[in-house]
Every structure is written in structure tokens, then in C-alpha cells.
Amino acid sequence: MSRHQVIIDTDPGVDDAAAILLAMASPEIDLLGISVVAGNVGLEASLVNACKLAALAGYCNLPVLAGASRPLIREPVLGKYAHVGRFADDLVPPTDLVPQPDSAIRFIAERAREAARRGGGITLCAIGPLTNIALALRLHPEVAPGIRQIVMMGGAFAALGHRTPWSEYNIHADPHAADVVWRSGVPLTLLPLDVTFQALFTEADFSAFEARDGVCGRAMAELLRAYDRSDEKRFGRPGGPVHDAMAVAWLLRPELFHGREAAVGVTTCGPTAGHSWADFHGVTGQSPNAHVIDAVDEAGYRRLVTERIAGLGATREAPEGREIVA
Ligand code: RIB
Ligand code: CA
């Protein structure tokens, strides 16, 4: 099996935690490191949360590195769970793990250079504001050939925004960075709110995380219970989205998803800054620059996430009739 060489760029973040643990639970992924960006919470809390997750999953040698503490140009705007800050110690145990002293931007550039020298390419799995990746591409433009693809959670096209009616948070938080990344020419797969809103996790999923008594599954269930993401008024049914895990799930099981090629772009200034658009029908005359995912097998996605994370550090076999998701 050829493994994806992945750097996760993240602002952990409860749904980021699901993405990170899913990647750590999946042999298809060779996780090179975690680059951290301010977003859901400030950079310092994001770094602590990333280190806590790495320690919990036993990835004690995994490079965790600090990136941007603020957006390229606009004023910082944290996520709606900013008050969460660091994950509570009773949800995710404390750790002595600390970030590496190097810069995340330099780390991304170095890994991309190495990959290009090998004739390969890394995958950047971007699940926060795109500031780090924009800086890596602008400060080290020669590394683009070493980036095989960027798979990112972000944007809202057919779906309304949630942070504002016109924008999804990762793009809203740094629209200039999104503009740099989306114009870079690096192959891009986008998982917008259009598709992440289609998969809602409920208490049944939280119990599935805990089914094998693994520390990671238990922590994931507790984080999702503690920071309720359900919104029956918006979604018309129980449960809440776990946006970021979908970016990792696409790498693992692309057959669970449907997508279309489109030219995508973002408004960077003015009253609707952060608005993202997708031209699926060539009306702008712009060539497609992204593969935009617009549908998911919800049951298959939820099962992949819950069963893989339940198996991370599990102390009990899978319950009867629930084989491990290949
Ligand atoms: O809009 C959802 C995105 O914003 C997710 O990545 C979430 O973690 C926040 O960063
Ligand atoms: Ca995130």
C-alpha cells in the first residue's frame, strides 16, 4: 500500500481532534507532523491541544510545530469555541510533550523539498485557517512541486455560511490566505460545509467511539459531549457535524464521496470578505482549480471515523458484528 505522506495543518479544535486521531489510527497515512495555526482557539492553546492529542495516541515523537498566531492581513477572529481554549485535563489528559522549536512554515517547506528530491510529494491536510500554508507557498515558492495535493476542510458554496451567512469559518478567519492557496496551482480538494453538514454525529456515535474502551475513543466521545455541536433548528434532526475528520476520511475512503471540478475563489475585502464561490458550469471562463466534494455516504463516514478512533489504543475487541473498517 503506498501511504499518503501527510502534514496536518490545524487549529485544534474538537473536530480537528477527530481528524488528527483518525489520521493516527489509519495505516494508509504516514503522518509527518502537525503544523498548528491560530483559529478555533489562540495559538498557545492550539499547541497544547495538539501535543495532548499526540501524547494520548502514543505519537510522542511526532513533530508538532507552531505556525501563525494571526491571519495575514485581517484582524484575528477566533472560533465560537474560543472560550474552550485548552482541552480540559479531565477530557484529554495533560502531557509533558512540547512543540518542536522550529517554525511550522519552515517544516512544511523542508518536507516538501525532501519529497520533491525523492520524486514524490506530500499531502497537506488543512483543517484550519490557511495562513501557514499561504506563508509556506509565498516565502518558499520553489516548494510547490513537492506538494502533491492540498486536501482541506473549508468554504461554503451551495450551503450558507455559519460564521456569517456568507462565509465558512476557516475562510472567514483568513480570506487572503485562502486566496493565495486557491490561486497557487497546487492540486486542491475542498470539503465545504455543503458536504460536512450532511453527516451529523449523535450519542450513538459517541458510544461507538467508546465501544472498545480505548483512551482515544473515550476522549473523543467526551469532547463531543462537552462541546455540543448539534443544532436541530438548523439541521432538522439530532446530531452535529464533525467537519475536519472528513478531510482525512476522503484520503482514506474517497469512494464514500462525490465531487465535481470547479473554479473556486474568495472575496478578500469589503462587507462580504470570506465569501467563497464555486463555478461548476464555466460561466466565469476560469479554468477549474479545485475538486469540490458535494456528497458523502453519511453512514459510511460516521462508521469509518468511530470505528477507527475506537480502535486507537483499544483494550477490548470490536463488538459483535462490527468488523473493523478496512
Ligand atoms: O467551519 C468549520 C471549520 O472551522 C473547522 O475546521 C473547525 O475546526 C473550525 O476551524
Ligand atoms: Ca479546524
Within 8 A by CB and 6+ apart from 93, the residues are 52, 55, 56
Q: Report the predicted TM-score, pTM, of the whole model to 2 decimal places.
A: 0.96
Q: What is the pLDDT of residues 54-76, one digit of tens each?
A: 999 999 999 999 999 999 999 99
- Choose between 149 and 83: higher pLDDT: 149
Model pLDDT, residue 322 = 54
Share of the chain above pLDDT 70, in %: 98
Q: Which three cell numbers stand for residue 297?
A: 455516504
Nearest ligand to the C-alpha atom of residue 243: 1
Q: Is residue 281 part of a domain?
A: yes
pLDDT (average), residues 2-24: 97
Q: Is 168 in the pocket of ligand 1 (CB under 6 A)?
A: yes
Q: Is residue 323 part of a domain?
A: no
Model pLDDT, residue 326 = 43
Model pLDDT, residue 325 = 47
Residues present in the chain in total: 326
Model pLDDT, residue 116 = 96
Question: Which of 15, 168, 248 has most ligand 1 atoms within 8 Å of its beta carbon, as the pocket-test mutant?
Answer: 15
Q: Is residue 304 part of a domain?
A: yes
Query: Residue 280 is part of which domain span?
Result: 4-315
Q: What is the domain-level CATH number for residue 173?
A: 3.90.245.10
Model pLDDT, residue 316 = 83
Number of domains observed in the structure of the chain? 1
Q: Which three cell numbers stand for residue 25?
A: 489510527
Q: Is residue 63 part of a domain?
A: yes
Q: Which three cell numbers stand for residue 86?
A: 485548552
Q: Is 194 in the pocket of ligand 1 (CB under 6 A)?
A: no
Q: Is residue 321 part of a domain?
A: no
Q: Which three cell numbers stand for residue 140?
A: 518558499
Q: What is the pLDDT of residues 202-233, one digit of tens each?
A: 999 999 999 999 999 999 999 999 998 899 99
- Ligand 1 atom nearest the C-alpha of 244 is 6
Model pLDDT, residue 292 = 98
Q: Is residue 59 part of a domain?
A: yes
- Scored b (16 or more CB within 10 A) or e, 160-199 reads ebbbbebbbbbbbbbbbbbbbbbebebebbbbbbbbbbbb
Share of the chain above pLDDT 90, in %: 91
Given a cut of 50, whether residue 284 has pLDDT beyond it is: yes
Q: Are 129 and 159 in contact (CB under 8 A)?
A: no
Question: Which of 40, 160, 248 has most ligand 1 atoms within 8 Å of its beta carbon, as the pocket-test mutant?
Answer: 40
Model pLDDT, residue 83 = 75
Nearest ligand to the C-alpha atom of residue 50: 2
Q: What is the pLDDT of residues 229-277, one digit of tens each?
A: 899 999 999 999 999 999 999 999 999 999 999 999 999 999 999 999 9
Model pLDDT, residue 320 = 67
- Choose between 136 and 316: higher pLDDT: 136
| 162: annotated active-site residue | no
- For residue 16, give the nearest of 314, 223, 325 by alpha carbon: 223
CA–CA dist 34, 10 (Å, integer)? 7
Catalytic residue among 4, 243, 275, 291: 243
Given a cut of 60, whether residue 321 has pLDDT beyond it is: no
SS3 113: helix
- For residue 57, give the nearest of 101, 26, 100 by alpha carbon: 26
Q: Which contiguous run of DSSP H or E holds residue 189?
A: strand 188-191
Whole-number mean pLDDT of the chain?
A: 95
- Ligand 1 atom nearest the C-alpha of 196 is 2
Q: Which contiguous run of DSSP H or E holds residue 103?
A: strand 100-103
**What confidence tier does 142 reach under pLDDT thresholds 50, 70, 90?**
very high
**CA distance between the termini of the chain:** 13
pLDDT (average), residues 270-292: 97
- Ligand 1 atom nearest the C-alpha of 16 is 8
Q: Is residue 320 part of a domain?
A: no
Model pLDDT, residue 167 = 97
Q: Is residue 161 part of a domain?
A: yes
